Amino acid sequence: MISNSIERIKDEVLRRIKPQESERIIIREICDDIIASLKKITDGEPVIAGSIAKDTFLSGDRDIDIFVLYDRDMSETEMRREIRGLGMRVFGTIEERYAQHPYAHATYRGFEVDLVPAFRFSGRIKSSVDRTPEHTKFVLQHTDERMRDEIRILKQFAKGIGVYGAEARVQGLSGYLCELLIIRFGGFETFLENVRDLGEDDVIGPDDLWEGERSALVFIDPVDPRRNVAAALSQTSLGLLKLAASEFLNNPRMGFFFPNPPNGGYPEDRILAVDVSETIDMRVEDIYFPQLRKTAESIARALEEYGVEKSAIYCDGKRAILFFLLKRRALESTKEHAGPPADMEKNAEEFLNKWGKERCYVRDGRLYARIERDAVTPEQTIEKAMIGLGRQMDRKKMRILEEIPEETRSFLIREFSGKKPWEF
């Protein structure tokens, strides 16, 4: 019965996410136009990459990746200059972007196009993106139409539960990792059954051998055995994926793929909001988001006595706010301060003289004093604490908000309501 239910759900998901022929025709025309234009003005080899090239893209995806492959004797500086010039000539206006590698970004006929320079692959990686065209070849060689549909289903599942994307904001499954997981396990349900038992001690690869750095999961890149495709996957994202896999197999439903918008409430009176928008340069997400995460972790440590149950980072590219769910919003005006054992006469005498006998007492053979706190609210604590900010962040521009912005409401419900994405 459950198996039949899963098949019905998969059929409905595919109906909604698999591109129709009319959509494919438009994308092919756009890619052909760009490739033809590039061939006229470069000696490099322009090729389509990414999920469109592998035919694992989802309906409605508006991203096109075009790689231009160069001989290995070209310098990276020359390659970068060349790709910028090509982008200007083909698209008119471009935006230079940076991930692991500089590239040109443009909007063309309603699609977002990334024009990426790379060296031709010869079994050895010279730049971080050289392996990408080889990924395309590998996926096409190891999949048929059925498996590519299974990949689409896994991608939508990961999107629905909030773990799709290897970028720093998500720390989830990349598109390529989804493809490899289906190739490895043969199908969507088989992957879900297996992922529940995967963990830090597991290595997936040709020989299941790995001498590199460990992460939540290790999946050795079949194109480059020195690379872990799952390196970006966090323990949190893997844990959510495991939980979703178990619950879906026990009670399959569409909400895992297409969750309802967050609804209900959240404990607003226990939330502290710290606006760091003015402290950080929000141009390159994979650079600034780890800085936001580091700052949030540092503030959470400073607020330990208030009982930080959870923290979350809201960032829309213009505004960045760190939220903390606290067990309490105020502390007692005094706190217990531990001193030396009572039988250490010299140390005990110094402790009594420092804090006053009227404040001190003995418990279990040790002296304690009841002393005044420097800070009794989260705001006061943050003001006085040593906060480890991300690089180039300016503490003076950090603000604690008195009111929670309305535009963050849905985000806060999703993060602090206690519900999983599929439970709304």
Which of 48-52, 129-133, 217-221, 246-250 is predicted with the least confidence, judged by mean pLDDT?
Answer: 129-133
Q: What is the pLDDT of residues 238-286, one digit of tens each?
A: 999 999 999 999 999 999 999 999 999 999 999 999 999 998 888 888 8
Distance of CA 5 to the CA centre of its chain: 31
Which of 201-210, 267-276, 284-293, 415-424 is predicted with the least confidence, judged by mean pLDDT?
Answer: 201-210
Residues 380-393 have a mean pLDDT of: 81
The CATH number, out of the four listed (3.40.50.261, 3.30.70.1550, 3.40.50.10330, 1.20.950.20), of the domain defined by the range 334-372 = 3.30.70.1550
User: How much is the pTM?
Assistant: 0.90
Domain boundaries, the chain: 19-124, 145-256, 268-330+376-423, 334-372
Fold assignment, 268-330+376-423: Alpha-Beta Plaits (3.30.70)
Q: Residue 149: its pLDDT value, please?
A: 98
Q: What is the pLDDT of residues 357-379, one digit of tens each?
A: 999 999 999 999 999 999 999 99
For the chain, the average pLDDT equals 92
The CATH number, out of the four listed (3.30.460.10, 3.40.50.720, 1.10.760.10, 3.40.640.10), of the domain defined by the range 19-124 = 3.30.460.10
Fold agreement (268-330+376-423, 334-372): yes
C-alpha to C-alpha distance for 299 and 268, rounded to whole angstroms: 19
- 3-state helix/strand/coil string of 33-64: HHHHHHHHHCCCEEEEEHHHHHCCCCCCCCEE
Using 50, 70 and 90 to split pLDDT, how confident is the model at 345?
very high
Question: What CATH class does 145-256 carry?
Answer: mainly alpha
Residues 33-55 have a mean pLDDT of: 96
C-alpha to C-alpha distance for 75 and 117, rounded to whole angstroms: 11
Of residues 405 and 200, the one with the higher pLDDT is 405
Distance of CA 130 to the CA centre of its chain: 23
Residues 185-212 have a mean pLDDT of: 85
pLDDT of 394 > 90? The answer is no
Share of the chain residues as helix, strand and coil, in percent rounded to the nearest 5: 45, 20, 35
